[in-house]
Structure 1
Amino acid sequence: MSPANVTIDCLQYCNWSRTIFEQMREGGLDAVHVTICYHEDFRQTAANIADWNRRFQYYDELIMPGRSALDVSAAQASNRTAIYFGFQNCSPIEADIGLVEICHQLGARFMQLSYNNQSLLATGCYEDDDPGITRMGRQVIAEMNRVGLVVDMSHSAERSTLEAIEISSRPIAITHANPYSWHPALRNKSNTVLKALSESGGMIGFSLYPHHLRDGSRCTLQSFCEMIADMAERIGIEHIGIGSDLCQDQPDSVVEWMRNGRWTTDRDFGEGSADAPGFPEQPSWFKDSRDFPNLVAGLKKVGFDGESIAAVMGNNWLRFFESAFSRT
């Protein structure tokens, strides 16, 4: 049986430590989708999973592996946080569709089809041209649907995202982004995409990463929660949740890796600039996982009732997990 209410963050990539896991507990997080890789190949991704297996041993009183939706209930019952693995790129499957199932067997539950650039599967949001889902991409989507690996289009371009929604036999996710109409960042999503996502039963997690926020690091809690209220009215509250994109305690070398990987000899600044190349400062009201109660207070202030707040803070993601992670 599912717990009455849960709190789920559908994207973090922090510099993992006991302190961060303790803060997850202080913030009441029952589950977190964590990034396992950006540009790593299969072997490097397996090494990252091995690191997580050690964390599960070292911090077993704070965190546990998440494989199915039932693990959210188990984590809540044991006062721990369930950790679900995700890939921000398709690099771990290399050019081998057989690795889709193996990655799922190793614990992956989300995989983006592209990360900013063109991939073997789809186009990233920073490319000038978007030819859509590739031939391999169509086959990989079908295989992801079969094994229960969620298609995530957070960093993908418009046409590719719309085609993924149409091609996928199961609802997809945009785990961490905001509406382009609220803040016109390349990473944010158009009303057309958000409408198609909701009509297909998909989910979006709203991001707290400053480059995705109106007014950046100076974005107010009121503005963020008013955006959520507007989107609940536009696409339906059942399709929205939180995907904070929290990158707590990471050195700036990590954001350089995210943006540059091994694909360029130049220095790409992504959403930053030469004058501000590092991680942007988080808004004062959302510095770490202990600030999740601030979102509850903010949603209440803009008119959400208790049931609606619970839906946005985690119940919607739990419902999605219940149908998304099983094999077909």
Structure 2
Amino acid sequence: MTSHAAKPSHYESFSYVERGVDFPAVELSDPSQRRSGFEAKLDETQRARAERLLTDNVVISFHDHPQLLPADMADISTYLRTRQEFTAFTELRRSGLTAVFDNWFGVIGSTRRSGWKWDDLITTLGLRLADLAHQDGVVVARTVQDILDAKRDGHLAFVMGTESASMIENELDRIDVLYGLGIRQMGLVYAEANTLGSGQKEQRDGGLTAFGRRAVERMNALGVLIDVSHASDRTCLDAIESSAKPVAITHAGARAVWPIPRMKPDEVLKACAERGGVLGIEAAPHTTVSYDHRAQSIDSVMDHFTYAVDLMGIEHVAFGPDTLYGDHANFQRAISDVIGASTVFDAGDLEWERVTHVDGLENPTENFRNITGWLVEHGYRDSEIQAVLGGNILRILNEVWR
């Protein structure tokens, strides 16, 4: 039997194998490191209220990557070839989250710069589920009841999702396979077009394809939540119209608040809400900037939140921060060609400030504590806070997953 050496305490995943021996390894970020300085301005009574709201209610991140980035971005190529993605489980348990929609890095090319293929996805999904199965207090949520049970039992629920459906190629039955393996949410398309439709990088927006419409129908039939966060405007509208069930935008913002392709226009946001969908407000660096806050922070992110609430109704808004543990801004630069940063973050002649981190929403541990504090500070009612922390997501899941 192989004798495995002790591992640093923050390398919590894959305890049954040895980093650097059983698979390639790079030094990973320390998830306990913080750069954010934000703290909501609350008195003692308000602080107690914020803590109660976070503790007593189901809190769901509609989109996050709760894994560790390399400590040194020079190791990014090795990192992207490694299918064992390390999750900061102890840190997540401090976050106040009940459930997290966990979308891994298939779209940016773990083994290929052109993106994952089918075998890559299945292999990584199996490894991910094996890792989760060896963690105490962690469950994989396949039903709404699984999320509610996780809240009751004090567990953390992971909802398995993908940011793109490119890996199914032109085979509808692969959606069934993914559902059988636990996938409950799928993005139709990432930045580049695939067999289902157009992405945000495309100069010509072809919308949803004929195959994409068949895929939407199959996802409806199975009970897979459709996500159009990275889809082109026309693909978003086509998917919302074609779907018999509400469609989600799990991580985006409002283009009226910051005019870049990565954000959604009012037409898409209103269509999403009118059909019962939910928008999760994005917080990854250099996305949810705003006219009033040109250096992205929790304040600029919440500019998108307040605009979306006014436009869509508070019952159609939640949070999908899209954060991870480590130097997210440098990570974006390292993979800028793949995510299409020069295109999807293009604000034209507008001046804005590049940041090293999004103050107040740097990683999954702090996100919802700071969001809850901000909402309390700005006078939102308990019922409104409960809705945007998780209630709205539970409602759409009850409609889609049944």
TM-score (norm 2): 0.72
Q: Does 1:203 align with 2:255?
A: no
SS in 1 for 2:393: helix
Contact (CA 8 Å) 1:132, 1:160: kept in 2 or not?
yes
Q: Where does the alignment leave 5 or more consecutive residues of structure 2 unmatched?
A: 1-54, 69-84, 108-114, 347-353
User: Which stretch of structure 1 is more off in the superposition, 136-145 or 316-325?
Assistant: 316-325
Partner of 1:41: 117
Give 1:290 shift.
2.6
Q: Tell me the equivalent position of 1:276.
A: none
| Unaligned residue ranges in structure 1 (runs of 5+) | 262-266, 274-278
**Cα deviations by residue, 1:245-264 (Å, 9 ceiling, x for unpaired):** 11323785687558538xxx
Residue 12 of structure 1 pairs with residue 64 of structure 2: yes
Cα deviations by residue, 1:275-303 (Å, 9 ceiling, x for unpaired): xxxx9633221222232111111112222
**Is contact 2:321-2:361 (8 Å) kept?**
no
Is 1:289 matched with 2:364? yes
Distance 1:249 1:165 in 2: 34
Letter in 1 for 2:58: V
The answer to whether 1:193 aligns with 2:268 is: yes
Aligned residues: 313
Contact 1:9 / 1:31 at 8 angstroms: preserved in 2?
A: yes
In structure 2, the CA distance between the partners of 1:300 and 1:148, relative to structure 1 (3 Å rule), is: same
**Contact 1:206-1:240 at 8 Å conserved across structures:** yes
**1:112, 1:43 → 2: CA distance?**
18
Q: Does 1:132 align with 2:210?
A: no
Is the Cα–Cα contact under 8 Å of residues 144 and 397 in structure 2 kept in the other structure? yes
- Residue 321 of structure 1: how far off its partner (Å): 1.4
Contact 1:211–1:271 (CA under 8 A) maintained in structure 2: no
Letter in 1 for 2:135: Y
After TM superposition, give the deviation of residue 106 of structure 1 in Å. 0.8
Aligned partners of 2:257 and 2:307 also within 8 Å: no
Query: In the aligned structure 2, how far is the partner of 1:322 from the partner of 1:259?
Result: 37
The 1:54/1:254 distance shift into structure 2, 3 A limit, reads farther
* Contact 1:204/1:242 (8 A) holds in 2: yes
Aligned residue number for residue 312 of structure 2: 235
Q: Which moved more, 1:171-180 or 1:282-291?
A: 282-291
Q: Name the CA shift for 1:280/1:75 in 2 (closer, same or farther; >3 Å).
A: farther
Could you say what secondary structure the match of 2:286 adopts?
Answer: helix
Residues 217 and 281, structure 1, Cα contact 8 Å, conserved in 2: no
CA distance in 2, matches of 1:149, 1:307: 28
Taking structure 1 as reference, are residues 288 and 260 closer, same or farther at Cα in structure 2, changes over 3 Å only?
Answer: closer
Q: Does 1:71 align with 2:146?
A: yes
* Structure 1 vs Structure 2 CA RMSD: 2.5
Aligned residue for 1:85?
160
Where does residue 14 of structure 2 map in the other structure?
Answer: none
Q: Distance in 1 between matches of 2:306 and 2:60?
A: 18
Q: Distance in 2 between the 1:148 and 1:255 partners?
A: 36
Q: Does 1:317 align with 2:393?
A: yes
Task: Among all aligned residue pairs of Structure 1 and Structure 2, give the percentage whose two residues are the same amino acid.
Answer: 26
The 1-side partners of 2:331 and 2:222 are apart by: 34
Q: Do the aligned residues in 2 keep the contact of 1:178 with 1:206 (CA within 8 Å)?
A: yes
1:307 maps onto 2:383 in alignment: yes
Contact kept? 1:210, 1:282, Cα under 8 Å = yes
Distance 1:258 1:218, change over 3 A: closer
> Normalization by structure 1: what TM-score?
0.87
What does residue 302 of structure 2 align with? Answer: 225
Q: Which stretch shifts more, 230-239 or 115-124?
A: 230-239
Q: Distance in 2 between matches of 1:247 and 1:255?
A: 15
1:28 aligned residue? 96
Moved over 6 A (4+): none
Task: Give yes or no for contact 1:225–1:299 (8 Å, CA) kept in 2.
Answer: no
Separation (CA, whole Å) in 2 of partners of 1:248 and 1:138: 36
* Secondary structure class of the residue paired with 1:211: coil
CA distance, structure 1, for counterparts of residue 286 and residue 341 of structure 2:
15
Answer whether contact 2:295 2:355 (CA < 8 A) is retained: no
Would you say the 8 A contact 1:116–1:125 is kept in 2?
A: yes
User: How many angstroms does 1:148 deviate by?
Assistant: 0.8
1:260 aligns to 2:338 (yes or no): yes
CA distance in 1, matches of 2:127, 2:188: 24
